[in-house]
Each structure stands twice: as structure tokens, then as C-alpha cells.
Structure 1
Amino acid sequence: MFTHKSFAVVGGGTIGLPIVRALTSYNVSVVLLSRPGSPSKTVPSTVKVVQVDFNDVAATAAVFKRHKIDVVVATIGKAAVLVQKSLADAAKLAAVKLFVPSEFATPTDGEPEGSHNPVAGIGDKCEVAEYLKSHNIPSARVFTGVFIESLPWLVGYSEHGKIRIVGKGEAPVSYTSVHDIAGFVAHVVTTLPPSALKDRIFRLQGDRASLNDLGAQFKTSVEHVDRITGEGGAVKTELLTLLSSGAGSTAWDETNQVERTGNEAAGSANVLWPMHRWRSIREVHNL
């Protein structure tokens, strides 16, 4: 028996649409929320698509109420992470039972309290987490590390056939495929009891390797550079620097500069999806 039956996914991008599709396989009610004027999305026929201004709390709450939403899954891009405060206000007005904020990357829970680290949107994500907690809105945060599918872009392999990294590249990094992330989210929000989801952090890991190790996996050379140039160079430089610092592991504790262990280890949440086989870097990229 499903513990939650009606879901709103906010944003239909890289991770949003796969989550929508994964949820539909559980035969639950799914609504996709997008901004007015956003390009149309190809979704399963059972999915309702609603355009609404996310900053309009009353209008968004009305959508949640109309569709009797139990769970909101936000998949907001880095530039608009803070709009989740308005979404959270709407969720509270509509008595939504669980809010899954847009994390889906490296961990943010180990940041020093009150930190507003601008790298990779970490500070904004922390602010949203603090907002949910202070407003007593139950949340579930999912840390995934790097999307395996994005690796060729991030390290420049798709551009020049080599692995270019910033920093020493020795620290272990967690990687998880978009397919696995979407399936995991759909599985836990539809099958786990509310008590197992409330204010919970899930640390996923489909594969694990240092940036230096990627050379052997992709059968190419590794080049260490001070920064990445060209289109998206600033973003890539920022992300690669972060990964080289150790913060790429889903178990990373930034405050204490250590890897968490035990129930907080990287990939510790994988067991919640029994019998699932997690995809590796080699499998996703046919290496």
C-alpha cells in the first residue's frame, strides 16, 4: 500500500522529467508544475501539466490543494533555488505532507551553520533547508554526488577526448546516474512510511572514483589545469575544485573535513531500494 498517493514535481529538466516518469510507474497521481511560458514537456498521458508562477504562493497553494498533493518534489536549477521558499509556503498552506527540496548533488548538510557558500549553489540550498526546518515543514533531502551522465561534459571528454581536472584530483567522488536517482526517489516516497521520510537525509552512490581514476575508465590521459576555459569554463572550474576538495563524496562533512561512516556513509541509502542494481560509470558510458 502506498503511503503517499499524489505528487507534484516542480520543474521538468534533467532530473525532473525522469522523476515524473519514474513516479508514473507506481500508478500514483502526478502533476508537473512549470513556469508560465516554459516550453511544453513530453510526459506520460496520465501526468497533468500545470503552469503557475512559483513566486505566487496563493496560486501555487491552490494547485496543490486542487490536486490533493501529498508530496512536493522540487527540481529547481541553481539560479532559482531560493524560489523554493515560496513553494514551501504554498506547500504548508496546502497541508502537503512532505517537501523534497532540490538537492540532487553534493552534500550540503555538513556546511557550517549559517554558511552561504556560493559554490554550486550550496549556500542557497542550505538556506532552503534552514527555512523548511524553521517553518516545521517535513523534508527529505537526497544527496547524489555527480550525475554520471554529465561526466563527459564536466571533465571535457566530450569536447577533446581527454580528462581535464582542476586540483589534485585524488579525493573520492560519488557518482549516480539520473535513471537511478529518479527511480530511488520514486521508490522511497511511494513505499516508505512518513516517519521514515520526515527530515531524513538520503546519501546515494552508484559509483565511486577519484577524478584521476577517470582517465583509466575512459581510456585516456588526465591533464591537470589551473582552470577550465571556454564555454561553461567558470562553472566547470568551480565544480572540479569542489570535487577535488573531498566534498564530492555524499558522505562529506564540510565542517569537520572528514568522511562520514556507518549509516551516514556514501551510498548508505542504497539499501532502501532492495534488489536494485546501481549503474556504474562504465555501464552508463559503454566503456
Structure 2
Amino acid sequence: MRCNIAINRQWARKSLPSVLPASYPMSAPLTIAILGATGTLGPSLLQAIADHPKMLDARIRILTRPTSAEKAHNLAARYPTLYLTVHAVDYTGAEAETGLAAALRGVDVVLSAVGDDSGLTRKDVAHSGLLPGFIAQDAVAHAAKAAGVKLFVPSEFGAPTHSMALNSESYIVGKRYHHDFLRKLELPYMLVYAGMFPEIEPAPTSLPQLSPEDLIPLGQPPFETSRYRVAAYIVQLLLDRGVEAVAGGIYVIRGLRRDRGAVSAETGKTEWVLDV
């Protein structure tokens, strides 16, 4: 994958540097609650925080279902240098409101990386917002508003949905509905889009420098961006720019995809190879 990174802040209509200033001051530790930490993107978020120079300025809370608590604790054990706690929460049960209120007390940012492992498809639900993971995200957002959370980062990280029509037949229109929900709650939020994730992940590396002439228009050509780089950019935004500076922003980070086929010496079959 040729890592020509394009980063846009759509609302500000200007490009941002991919490496944000390490000297940006923080007045107090930032408490971040991560929803979906054991999923596709979550482990990369923890790794990116652990790799950041300001990792000691972050307090991390992993929110997880009771059935996934052991998996969450095992994940947390990989990052002994982080201030990290695990909070088991039943998002839809009778005690959901009480559990979420306790887990979110004192939290500055909720970072949602929920996906879906329910096995449900378009045949079962009309859109993504009706999947269990995204129903839990709604519940967390509601509790976050009550808890005084300063910023909510919904699970996007794919194709842009903020301009999608509410009557769209796209399966991911549920994410667009969630934006309206956040606005009704008057809960500040930030959107981050990354295009597709590659099937083969390169080794984690820091983000490259970006100049304005490197900017790539949205939508052309197709993109793939590694999970670690998406996570690293989100962490840069939160720890280097600060919550107030990024609230209300729409950010895009995408690597230019270049894929090729290669014949495996072992199987004789053509396999997809990631060019870095």
C-alpha cells in the first residue's frame, strides 16, 4: 500500500498536518471510555495510545458486556503502561442506566469502535443502526450526555455517512441516524472516516508528514488505510489537538490503495499482497 495519506477537515475546508504538534498543552489528564475495545479497531486504539508520547496523560476505561469481560481483561493486560480499567456493562438490561452512569462518571471522551458479530444481515434488519452493537452505542450516547461527557466519537471509520439522505436505502444509513440522535442530545461529536481496512495489515508505523499538494479528493481513487494508522490519527487528534479543538469536526484519513496479485510458492495460487 503506497501510504500517501490524505487528511481533510471538511467543516473547516482546510487540510491538517498528519503529525500534530507534540507540544500542544494539556491542562489535565484526559479520561477516555472505549466502547468496542475488543473488536476490529479497539486493540489498535490501545496500542496507539501506548505509543503516544502523552500516554500518561490518558486514563482509559474499557466498556464491555459482562460476557466479554474476560476477553477485555486479557486485552488490558497487554498494556501495563496505561492507566486502564475494565467496566462490565449490560447495555440493554434493567440495570443498564445505573451501570453506564457509574462507568461514565468523570469521562471526557467516549470513543466508540463497535462493530457487529451478531450474524444479522440485511435480511434480518433494515439498516446497521438496528444491529446490537449500534443499539448499545445509542444507549452509551444517552448516558454520556447525562454524565457530562465532552465529546462522543461514533463508530464510523468507513465510507462518509454525514451527507447521506435519511431516506437512503443504504444498509449503513443507521450511522446517519445516529448523527441526528447525537444532535438531539446536544452532545458534541467528531466524525473520522478512513475508507476500507486492508485484508493484510502492515506493521505499525507512525504517520508520514503531509503537505497540501498531497491532498487526495474524497472518493477517488479507492482507498485502504491500516487500523493502526486510523487509531494513531484519532489519538493525535484527542491528545495533541484537544477535545474542544476537534469537537464538531469531520476528519478523513485515507491511504492510496495499490494492490497486486502474487503467486504463492507454497500453494501455487494467486494471493492478494499489500504493497507498503
TM category, shorter = 0.5 to 0.7
Tell whether 2:18 aligns with 1:23. Answer: no
In the alignment, the residues of structure 1 paired with residue 113 and residue 168 of structure 2 have an alpha-carbon distance, to the nearest angstrom, of 20
Tell whether 2:144 aligns with 1:101. Answer: no
Map 1:152-231 → 2, pairs under 5 A: 172-208=221-257, 214=259, 217-219=260-262
In the alignment, the residues of structure 2 paired with residue 58 and residue 129 of structure 1 have an alpha-carbon distance, to the nearest angstrom, of 24
Q: 1:196 to 1:218 in 2, by over 3 A?
A: farther
User: Aligned match of 1:71 in 109, 114, 131?
Assistant: 109
Tell whether 2:89 aligns with 1:52. Answer: yes
In the alignment, the residues of structure 1 paired with residue 64 and residue 170 of structure 2 have an alpha-carbon distance, to the nearest angstrom, of 25
In the alignment, the residues of structure 1 paired with residue 43 and residue 195 of structure 2 have an alpha-carbon distance, to the nearest angstrom, of 19
Offset at residue 108 of structure 1 (A)? 0.7
SS in 2 for 1:86: helix
TM-score, structure 1 length as denominator? 0.62
Q: Which has the higher contact order (CA 8 A, sep 6+)?
A: 2
Offset at residue 150 of structure 1 (A)? 5.7
User: Which residue is 1:87 aligned to?
Assistant: 140
SS in 2 for 1:205: strand
TM-score, structure 2 length as denominator? 0.65
In the alignment, the residues of structure 1 paired with residue 222 and residue 232 of structure 2 have an alpha-carbon distance, to the nearest angstrom, of 21
Tell whether 2:182 aligns with 1:132. Answer: yes
In the alignment, the residues of structure 2 paired with residue 70 and residue 130 of structure 1 have an alpha-carbon distance, to the nearest angstrom, of 21
User: Aligned match of 2:196 in 130, 133, 146?
Assistant: 146
The one-letter code of the counterpart of 1:75 is A
Contact kept in structure 2, 1:142 and 1:203, CA below 8 Å: yes
Contact kept in structure 2, 1:116 and 1:126, CA below 8 Å: no
User: Which residue is 1:34 aligned to?
Assistant: 64
Offset at residue 118 of structure 1 (A)? 4.3
In the alignment, the residues of structure 1 paired with residue 60 and residue 230 of structure 2 have an alpha-carbon distance, to the nearest angstrom, of 17
In the alignment, the residues of structure 1 paired with residue 255 and residue 40 of structure 2 have an alpha-carbon distance, to the nearest angstrom, of 17
The one-letter code of the counterpart of 2:87 is V
Tell whether 2:275 aligns with 1:282. Answer: yes
Runs of 4+ off more than 4 Å:
none
In the alignment, the residues of structure 2 paired with residue 117 and residue 150 of structure 1 have an alpha-carbon distance, to the nearest angstrom, of 30
User: Which residue is 1:8 aligned to?
Assistant: 33
Contact kept in structure 1, 2:221 and 2:256, CA below 8 Å: no
Q: Which runs of 5+ in 1 are unaligned?
A: 152-169, 221-279
Contact kept in structure 2, 1:31 and 1:48, CA below 8 Å: yes
The one-letter code of the counterpart of 2:190 is A
Q: 1:219 to 1:76 in 2, by over 3 A?
A: same
Contact kept in structure 2, 1:8 and 1:73, CA below 8 Å: yes
In the alignment, the residues of structure 1 paired with residue 177 and residue 252 of structure 2 have an alpha-carbon distance, to the nearest angstrom, of 19
Q: Over aligned residues, Cα RMSD in angstroms?
A: 2.4
Contact kept in structure 1, 2:200 and 2:274, CA below 8 Å: no
Offset at residue 218 of structure 1 (A)? 2.9
Q: Which runs of 5+ in 2 are unaligned?
A: 1-24, 117-130, 202-218, 264-272
SS in 2 for 1:76: coil
The one-letter code of the counterpart of 1:14 is T
In the alignment, the residues of structure 1 paired with residue 223 and residue 148 of structure 2 have an alpha-carbon distance, to the nearest angstrom, of 35
| Greater fraction of residues in helix | 1
The one-letter code of the counterpart of 1:178 is R
Cα deviations by residue, 1:78-125 (Å, 9 ceiling, x for unpaired)? 43223211111110111000000000111112211x235342xx1111
Contact kept in structure 2, 1:105 and 1:146, CA below 8 Å: yes
Offset at residue 208 of structure 1 (A)? 3.6
